[in-house]
Each structure stands twice: as structure tokens, then as C-alpha cells.
Amino acid sequence: MAQSKIYKNFIGGEWVESRSGQTFENLNPADTSDVVGYFQDSSEADVNDAVEAAKAAWEKWRLTPAPKRGEILYRAGEILSERKEEYARDMTREMGKILKETRGDVQEAIDTAFYMAGEGRRMFGFTTPSELKDKFNMAMRVPLGVVGMITPWNFPMAIPSWKIFPALVCGNTCVIKPAEDTPLSTINLVRALVDAGLPKGVVNIVTGHGPTAGAPLVNHKDVRAISFTGSSEVGRIVGQAAAASFKPCSLEMGGKNAIIVLDDANVDLAVDGALWGAFGTAGQRCTAASRMIVQRGVHDEFVAKFVERTKKMKIGDGLDETVTMGPQVNKQQIDTTVKYVEIGKNEGAKIATGGSRPNGDRLSRGWFHEPTIFTNAHPKMRIAQEEIFGPVTTVIQTTSVEEAAEIANSTMYGLSSAIYTRDVNKAFRAIRDIYAGITYVNAPTIGAEVHLPFGGVKATGNGHREGSQAIDFFTTWKAVYIDYSDKLQRAQIDNE
């Protein structure tokens, strides 16, 4: 284990303590006796310092040519590639998910860096004919200014990269507050940017808690936009606060995602997808497959194989390459999972496997819960409606693709969805009829790629997208009219 140390905020290009001098400890969720590090417990004063630094840096950064900004991102991607294993191990230790997943998390940041680097040469505007003679019209993207970012703990490097990299290439400066459970991964991401040549003040990190650091960031008068990923409950608070000052706000929130398995599906493939979708990251993904909607003809076969494979999963410390599912991130998440397991039992659903915290000295110091499958479930049960964010999934029977789509649509969320079928007609009906931001065919509900838009509908989001469309949020449009007629021309008046 690496020795625990004190990590500082990053403000104006310097690593600094919080003004209060207070810190909080970050524990390894697989072994809570292991202190990953101590991080600054920041307050409004620290947020103010970070915003001032970002505001000062913006004047020069916005004038840096976009291709040059992109070159810094490209170098950061190369540095992340070199440090991938180191940063993945740090992430597993502070967040818990297995090394295969944390390596993928770092790789997503690498992919985002390379993709957004190219946007420095592709930040296209457009020209259009004028309705008047001797006049030229065009529209161009311009940066917003200082952007505030609040990120979650489940993808502690990938999601910050989704926000920071497009914001930077567009010419904005940033203040980010990472989740208090996983600040080290964001610090590692920004270290790569600094080593790639990012100027001082362009990105600033303030660690701490939501009420004392996140809220002041959202409410700061000089923060021009907020990008938030987290729960729908907190997202509603963030969105309402931003709306009070007409501040653009991107919200990416919860999900209650469904995998549909039809009678003609490759059942073994569907089980592969169900395991990965339901129990990857211990179910702690907004895209986790927490519902299996299975047609009656293959229901029993699917459940039997799904249960058998789930029982063979190895729970433990994600740094162990043989482990297939790590811990949950903290006690609160475990308590929520335990609560919903009891809710499911009280609602009349049947536990096919799992359902409790595992025993044994090896797991006694961590936040572990067994992967759990409920059967005999109804679509309106709470376990089939509410986001659990733990290793729990619910199997629901269906009679047709049409009914399956209705069940998939029956929650307040609309992020990801999947269907397993060999019938292309049914696949396209599902794509058409499922109301969600993402639909996979013959693949689970997780696996988004950075060059497609990412986000959802209903309580999942407010219409903005990350991934390829992130520059739509991090820029605003300016219309430009150039009149070279050498006379006054009045649109609509002189164009009769």
C-alpha cells in the first residue's frame, strides 16, 4: 500500500491548503483501515479563490487558438497513457471497482483527450446567404467563461474528463469539485494536464463536500455555467439554484435501465450482458442494468443460467486480478442496498441468489454486498422503479416486445436500454419505442463510447449531452453580419 498523504487544492497553478486548514480522510472501501489520503475540506472562501483564478486565466486562454488548446489535450492523453496502470491502481484503492474497470476508466479519459483534441480543428460554425445584397452572414461558437463542474465517485476520472476536456478546447476555464469519496483520480487527471503544459489557473480543483464547496460553486456570480453528474435529487437542487441566475446547467443524473431478452435471443450472450450490466462496478453506474425484462419462452432458462453465473462471481479487493466484483464505495451505499433488498422481500419478490452482506474475515473490513437477483417481480414494485445503485437486479416476465418496451418506459428515468434478439424488425421497434437516451442491441446497457452523445430523458437529464455533443453546452453561438455595401441596409425593411 502506498503511504497515505495530504493532498491539496489546486488553485491558480499552485497546490494550496484550504483556508480553514481542515481536511477529511479518504478510505479504501475494500479495507477501511487503509487511508488513501487526506484531502482539503474546502469552504466558500476556497471556491472564491478558485473562481478568481479561473476568471483571471480566461482572458488569455480564450485567445489561445483552439488548435493549440487541442494540442495540450493531446499531450495530456499521451501522459495518461503512460500512467494508466498507476492511475488505475489509485482509483481501485480509493473507489473499489476492479482493476479491469479502472483501467477502462482511465482509458476513457485517454479517448476523450484524443477526441476533444481534434475538436480544436473542427469547432465548426456556418455561413449562410444574406437576404440583402453585399452582405455576409456567419455564425461562430464562442466560449462561456468560467465553468463549474461537480462530478461523482463512480467514474472518477472518465466523467471529469467528459467535462474538463471539451470545456478547455472550447476556450473555457474550469473549477471542479470532485466527489469526496474519489478526489485523487481527479487530481491525477489534472496533473496530466499540468504536465502537458496547461497554463496556470485554467483548471482549478476544490475538494470537499456538497453543501460547503459544491453549493458555493453553483451559486457563484462569476461562474457562467454548471455541469453536474450525480443523483436526480441533488441534480434538482443544482438545477433550481442555477436557474435563479439564468445560468446554463447540464444535468446527467439517475437511471433505472432495462435489458429486454426476447424468445429468439442468444440466451448465453444475454446472460453475459446481464452479469456485466447488473454487477459491473457493483451496480454503481447510472447505466447499470437493474431490470431484466424477459419473454416467457426463455424466462426459466435465462434465470437459471443467470443465477448460476452470478453465484460463481468472486467478491473482494479490486486490486486482486482474480476478483470479479469489488465493494460499494461507502457505508451509505451499503445501507441503501440492504434497505432495498428488504423492500423487495416485503413486496413479495423472490431472492434467487444473494440478498445479504458476505461473511468472512477477508471481507469484514470492506463495504461488500452479494450480487443479488430478484425474480417473481412486478414492474410497479419499488425495486423495479427506484434507482438502487448497488449490485441488485430484478427479473420481470413479459409476453412481447411491445409490452417489454412499455415496461422499460414505465419508470421516471430514461438513460440506457438494451434488447437481445435475432429479429431485426423487433430490434428496430425497440429502438423506436423505448424512450431513452441510449439503446443497445445484443449488448448490455453499459459501454458508451466517447464519440457519441451520452445522456438521457425524463428524470435522467435536462436535455444536454456529454460525449461528442459536449461542445454544444460549453459554447454559445454568436451571429455575425458583415455589410460591405457602404450604405445603410435595414433587414426586413429594405427587403420587401
Quickly count: other Cβ atoms within 10 Å of residue 348's Cβ. Answer: 11
For residue 157, which of 117, 201, 102 has the smallest C-alpha distance?
102
Q: Cα dist. 391→164, 325, 353 in Å?
A: 30, 9, 11
Task: Choose the catalytic residue: 101, 119, 252, 387.
Answer: 252
Which three-class secondary structure state does DSSP give residue 251? strand
* C-alpha cell at position 69: 488548446
Amino acid letter, residue 218: V
Q: To the nearest 10°, the Cα dihedral for 466, 193, 178, 469?
A: -10
DSSP 375: E
CA atoms within 13 A on the CB side of 443: 10
Question: Cα 474–476–477 angle (5° rounding)?
Answer: 145
* C-alpha cell at position 390: 448497488
Q: Is 321 tagged catalytic? A: no
Query: For residues 453 and 467, what is the distance between their CA atoms, to the nearest angstrom?
Result: 5
E strand or H helix that includes residue 476: strand 475-483
Work out the burial of residue 129: count CB atoms within 10 Å of its CB; fewer than 13 is exposed, 13-18 middle, 19 or more buried.
exposed
Task: Choose the catalytic residue: 94, 119, 286, 387.
Answer: 286
Q: Is 252 tagged catalytic? A: yes
Give how far the C-alpha of residue 435 lies from the chain's centroid of Cα atoms, to the nearest Å.
20
Query: Going by DSSP bridges, is the β-strand pair 126-129/135-143 parallel, antiparallel, or unpaired?
Result: antiparallel
Q: DSSP letter string over 409-426?
A: TTSSEES-EEEE-S-HHH
CA-atom Rg of the chain in angstroms: 24
Catalytic residues: 252, 286
